Structures are given as structure tokens and as C-alpha cells.
Structure 1
Amino acid sequence: MSTNKHAVIRYQTLDKCFRNTGKRYFIEDLLEACNASLFEFDNTTEGIRKRQLYDDVRFMESAQGWSIPIEKIKDGKRVYYRYDDSSFSINNQPLNENEAEQIKSAMLVLRRFKGLPQFEWVNELLPKLDKTFNLSNQNNEIISFDTNEFLIGAEYISDLFTAIQNQQALEVSYQSFNSTVPQEITFHPYHLKQYNNRWFVFGKNDGYDNLTNLALDRIKQIDHASISFDNSQMLDFEEYFEDIIGVTKPTEAKASKILLKATTQLAPYIKTKPIHGSQKKVEETNNSCTFSIEVIPNYELNKMLLSFGSGIEVLEPKHLRLTIKKLLESSTDIYN
């Protein structure tokens, strides 16, 4: 159990002791109560000593804590502790500054999910948190995320998310951009991934032996399938995406070292936002910066390299250099 959880247990225990007017809690009694509560939640704990207990009380008295109204009453040579107002409790107090800042930070992260199916509750929760704890000091948003609330297919995220959780096979009506009519697919969903503001679902298509990915913006309808879930193509998706850019992974392809040369104008952007996690600087001169990545060449890599225009040159491998050259030539042809 983490130290933070232990601290919460101690603070709650001390709060109960300080509110109890039927018993006098000397420091030894407080220590015994705290250690008993800690052991109840974590029987491997060694408990705390008096120094930690004194630190806890000082924190609870401070403005960073709850500014508790503690009385230290002498009884002979000893002192017992209690609230001077028995109705006081740390659970009834407004958020302290640290707690408010933590909730504000959490709210900023939650805003990223606004508008997505399965996260409708975020739209209701944020205003309630804001009003309840009076967290906003300004009306303007201070952070924005690169999302598309009007993306076609986003309405299927909720159903796919639930199907993956419950290992439920689906009947999917899917129409690719190259087809004039939808295709009916029996699909076993494993993983959802977002790339370039589009969503994709990976899973087992009963019509194929290999892993299949479907773009959500091309899904027409989803229904539950009355068959057992097939997880024969399930894999570690973190490892699966490790050596590719985007979502396309050519069958049986292997990662290769790609050598790229960027102009001095583009180089700072490549350095601060690497094309891939494997990126390494090879050489830097006054006119250019050469670096390498190790990935499987695919459609998304080509599009990314083309997006840099004349700012980047593919040096190796030769087949990728020729591919990019042909794509650039075909682009210039339409302007002739």
C-alpha cells in the first residue's frame, strides 16, 4: 500500500479520535489507534512512531492541511488531544490549496475526453466539480487538445469499447473507400487506437487469418454476434505498434534502418518532436542534420515524409527513396 494511502488512513483516524468526547486520547492512545487502523488495511505494515504522529498533527493544524482547532489539555504531567468544537471534522472542510490544484489538473486531463462516446459523464462532472469547489478563476479555457468532435464513426467507440471489455463478437457492416456497397463482417475486437484524429479497431476478421484493422469512419452498423469470442489473434499491442508509424503493418515485414537528412530550418522541429521513438542523430553540419529511425516502411510513414516537403530527404534505403521520389513526381505532374 502506498505511503499516500497510509497518510489518509492516519488523518481519518486522528479526526475520529479528536471528535470523540467520550475518551481522552493521549499521544500513546493516538499512536495505538493509528497503527491499529493501518494494520487493518495493510497487515504487512510496521506502523508509525511518535515523530510521524507529531508531524501528522502539525500538518493537520497547518493551512496546507485543514487548520484543525485542536486543544491540548493537561492532565497531570500528561496531555490529551481533542477538538475544541466536537462538530468539526476534516471531512466537512473546504478543499485546501493543494487539493484544489490537484483537482484542477485532473479536470484539465478529463476535458480531453469531452464529446467522446462512453465519456458523456465528463460533460456533467466537470461543471459540478467546478461549481461545488469553486475551482475556476476565469471563464476562458487555458488548454486545448487536438480532437475532432465531428469525426464520423466516433459514435461506435462506446459499443466497441464495451465489446472489447466483455470479449463480445460483433457483426459489422463495413464499407471501404474502394467499395460501392457495405460488406458484412463477423469481427472479434481486441484494441482501439487513435491516429491522426481518426479511430481504428483491431481484431480478428472471420474471413482472414491475420489481424485486421477497421477504420471507424467506414463502419455503417454494429450488432452483437451470437458466436463465441475468438481471441486467437490477440497480442501485445504496445509491442505491435512499437516499430511502425500509424496503424498499417505490412504482413511479415521487418523494421529497417531509415536514414533521413533534414534542412537546418526543419531540424529543430524534428529534434523536439521525433518522428519515431527510435530516432537518433547521426551527423549535424551547418547546412543539415542527418538522423535515423528504425521502423517498418508503410503508408503512414510515406505520408509523414511527404508532409515535410523539401525540408527532408530520404537517403536510405534505396527502395524507400525511390518510392518518395515517384510520389513527389506524381504530385508535380498534376500542376503541369
Structure 2
Amino acid sequence: MPVNRNALIRYKTIDTCLRNRRRRWTLQNLIDKVSEALYDYEGMEKGISRRTIQADIQMMRSDKLGYNAPIIIVEKKYYTYEDADYSITNIPLSEHDLSRMTEAVEVLKQFKGFSHFQHLNAVVQKLEGHVYASAHDQRTVIDFEKNEHLRGLSHLGMIYDAIVREQTMLLKYQSFRAKSASIMHFHAWWLKEFKNRWFVVGTKNDSPAIVTLALDRIEELKIDETISYRPNDQGHTPEEYYQHTIGPTVAKIRPMKATILVTPEHAPYVLTKPLHRSQKVESVGPEGTTISVVIEHNLELEREILGFADGMKVLGPERLRANIQRKLQRAAGNYGKDDSKNEQPA
């Protein structure tokens, strides 16, 4: 049975509410939450009727969509799930769903050889793994790194929609360094993922400068239709924006040529997974492999180098070399002789 986008938003919102057992949900509470969600995602201002929500609850309770949701009413007033672990997102795929998803995967696989669709490869692999596992009643054979408890993931959908629909966002944001949160209007241009953290890139309403915000620092978020959206008129693209950097932050400083000696033990890992797209092999000798990268000097670059510990030695430039040396010396100091006094006897 086909379900339109608005119905899916309503079902998911009701599901989210009923899974939150720290609050008691009346029918009016559910109506309010669903109306807010429809406004945020679809811009619907008229709200939703009592009859629609009642029909949605009945649909979720039935097997027409395969939900069979155990929704009960307690004290003749409050709605909740009888099974505290239930969620409509946990139900297994039906044979019809599996068939349609298999068809979709086969279509997407046709694009894997085209350069314009290289970014689809990981998506197709994920879908193939999940479809195969569901169809054969076994665990997925492909596992991707993920952090499902990362803060801010709930904002992804709304931010994505705001970018596609060119809508201005009003958000409450507090960086790790700020003492208090600030309120700002933000014009989002694209989303950036780096090591399982998500960032949104765009401009603030009061400045044309490009800003990167971490989703896990966003405390509140909503769409503000009263403020005109500022589009990406300069044509900035992620490919061009990050060409001289590692990570999500771009300082827009002149790139430097960093030369690094990699020990024989670690060289194979760096050669098969380059630090940066500009990486080149300068020389190979008994002490290791010397590589170079043309890149901005930022915190993410230093963290990549420090992650190899004694497996890398920065040869230049001097500023990068001195920063790495100072941090390694400070780290070594954390394991001084005094620490041996705290060791427990065997």
C-alpha cells in the first residue's frame, strides 16, 4: 500500500513521541507535535486534524503497512507503546519491500562505472548489504563505521531539506569554546561528513563569510520563512573548497608543501591510504619513505600525523615540525617516571 510523504512524516513523529516514555502523550500533544513536524519539513501552516491523527494511530496498529504497533491508552487519556522497545523503524522488510529495494539497487549499480556517480558507490554497497541480509535472514556482510549515538544526527533531515528548498534556518548554537549559546540565521549550502561527525557549511545572515558549524553543537533548529535565503551565488563546491585541506575546517591560507618521512613499518598504510589527494612519493630509502603533500596547516593535519606517533617524522616546514615535536614531547611527559608509583602490584 503506497504511503505519501506527509503520512510518513506523521507516522514517524508519532513513533518518536511514543518511544519517549519520559513524557505522557495525550491526543492533543500528538496533534501538536505532528503539526510542528509538518511545518518544519513541508511548510504546512494549517496544522493537522484530530480525525487524521486518530486514523494514523489506527493505521499504525493495523498490519496494512506491516507496523502492527502495540499502541495502548492508559488512564483513558495517555497514548504509549505497550512494548517499550518497539519502534516502526525496527520492523523487518516485507517481501514486497525487499523486491522493490532489490530493483532499486540493480538500477543504482548501473551507475557505478560513471565518474559523475562515484559518490553513489558507498550507498549502493550499503543497500546491497542490508537487502541481502534481510532477504536471507542473516546479519549484513558489509559493516560501515558509524556512531548512532552522535549528537545532532536528528538535525540532518531538516538541514538537508533546507538546502534543497533554499530555506533560511534559525538556530541556537554553542561551540565548545563559547561560554553561552548564540542565536543566528544561517543559510546552508552543503553538508560535510568527517570521521562520523557532521557539519553544515554556509553563511550567517550578518556576514558573507563561509562558516562551518558542527551539528552536535546545534541545540535548537527551525525554518524561518520570514528571512530570504542567501544562495551560493559564487558557485563554491565542496571539491574546490576542500582541495587543500584535511577535515571540515578551511582557513583559506596559502597551502604549504609538507615533507614527511614515514617509517618502513607504516609506509604501506600511508601509500595505500594517502593523507591527502596531493600526496607524492619523494624518495624511498632504508629509513623509510619520504612523502610530500600540498596542504593547509590545520589541526586535522596535525592530528593525522600525531596518530602515527613515532611512525612519522615531519621534515618541513619548520612551523609544522615544531608543533608536532612540542605535542609529542608533552604527550611523552604524561607518561613520566612518577606514573610508575601509581602502578598496582601484580
Q: TM-score, normalised to structure 1's length? A: 0.60
Q: Counterpart amino acid of 1:206? A: N
Q: Any stretches of 5+ residues in structure 1 without a counterpart?
A: 1-94, 115-121
Query: Which residue number corresponds to residue 209 of structure 1?
Result: 208
Query: Which residue number corresponds to residue 251 of structure 2?
Result: 250
Aligned equivalents of 1:219, 1:108: Cα separation in 2: 30
Aligned equivalents of 2:152, 2:140: Cα separation in 1: 27
In the alignment, is the contact (CA less than 8 A) between 2:105 and 2:124 conserved in 1?
no
1:75-154 alignment, distance < 5 Å = 102=106, 109-110=122-123, 135-136=135-136, 139-154=138-153
Q: CA deviation at 1:104?
A: 11
Q: CA deviation at 1:335?
A: 3.1
Aligned equivalents of 1:335, 1:153: Cα separation in 2: 35
Aligned equivalents of 1:291, 1:276: Cα separation in 2: 11
Aligned equivalents of 1:104, 1:130: Cα separation in 2: 18
Q: Counterpart amino acid of 1:328? A: L
Q: Counterpart amino acid of 1:242? A: Q
In the alignment, is the contact (CA less than 8 A) between 1:246 and 1:300 conserved in 2?
yes
Q: How many residues are matched? A: 225
Query: Which residue number corresponds to residue 323 of structure 1?
Result: 323
Q: Counterpart amino acid of 2:174? A: Q
Query: Which residue number corresponds to residue 37 of structure 1?
Result: none
Q: Counterpart amino acid of 2:245? A: I
Q: Give the secondary structure class of the aligned counterpart of 2:198.
A: strand
Q: Counterpart amino acid of 1:254? A: R
In the TM superposition, what whole-angstrom CA distance separates every residue of 1:98-145 from its partner, at most 9, and x where no partner exists? 98994797999558778xxxxxxx99xx66x977xxx53x61321111
- Going from structure 1 to structure 2, the CA distance change for 1:234 and 1:154 (only over 3 Å counts) comes to farther
Q: CA deviation at 1:288?
A: 0.7
Q: CA deviation at 1:185?
A: 1.1
Query: Which residue number corresponds to residue 39 of structure 1?
Result: none
Q: Give the secondary structure class of the aligned counterpart of 2:236.
A: coil
Q: Counterpart amino acid of 2:168? A: A
In the TM superposition, what whole-angstrom CA distance separates every residue of 1:23-48 from its partner, at most 9, and x where no partner exists? xxxxxxxxxxxxxxxxxxxxxxxxxx
Q: Counterpart amino acid of 2:164? A: Q
Query: Which residue number corresponds to residue 164 of structure 2?
Result: 165
Does residue 271 of structure 2 align to residue 300 of structure 1?
no
Q: Counterpart amino acid of 2:210? A: L
Q: Percent identity?
A: 30
Query: Which residue number corresponds to residue 187 of structure 2?
Result: 188
Q: CA deviation at 1:333?
A: 2.9
In the alignment, is the contact (CA less than 8 A) between 1:255 and 1:296 conserved in 2?
yes
Q: CA deviation at 1:210?
A: 1.3
- Asked which structure has the greater CA Rg, the reply is 1
1:51-66 alignment, distance < 5 Å = none
Q: Give the secondary structure class of the aligned counterpart of 2:212.
A: strand
Q: CA deviation at 1:332?
A: 2.4
Does residue 285 of structure 2 align to residue 285 of structure 1?
yes
- Going from structure 1 to structure 2, the CA distance change for 1:284 and 1:178 (only over 3 Å counts) comes to same
- Going from structure 1 to structure 2, the CA distance change for 1:102 and 1:218 (only over 3 Å counts) comes to same
Q: Counterpart amino acid of 2:159? A: L
In the TM superposition, what whole-angstrom CA distance separates every residue of 1:292-317 from its partner, at most 9, and x where no partner exists? 11111111001111101000011011
In the alignment, is the contact (CA less than 8 A) between 1:193 and 1:201 conserved in 2?
yes
In the alignment, is the contact (CA less than 8 A) between 2:261 and 2:314 conserved in 1?
yes
- Going from structure 1 to structure 2, the CA distance change for 1:310 and 1:229 (only over 3 Å counts) comes to same
Q: TM-score, normalised to structure 2's length? A: 0.59
Query: Which residue number corresponds to residue 241 of structure 2?
Result: 240
Q: CA deviation at 1:235?
A: 1.2
- Going from structure 1 to structure 2, the CA distance change for 1:103 and 1:148 (only over 3 Å counts) comes to farther
In the alignment, is the contact (CA less than 8 A) between 2:109 and 2:124 conserved in 1?
no
Aligned equivalents of 1:296, 1:244: Cα separation in 2: 5
Aligned equivalents of 2:181, 2:151: Cα separation in 1: 16
RMSD: 3.1
Aligned equivalents of 1:101, 1:178: Cα separation in 2: 44
In the alignment, is the contact (CA less than 8 A) between 2:133 and 2:139 conserved in 1?
no
Aligned equivalents of 1:130, 1:289: Cα separation in 2: 42
Q: Give the secondary structure class of the aligned counterpart of 1:283.
A: strand
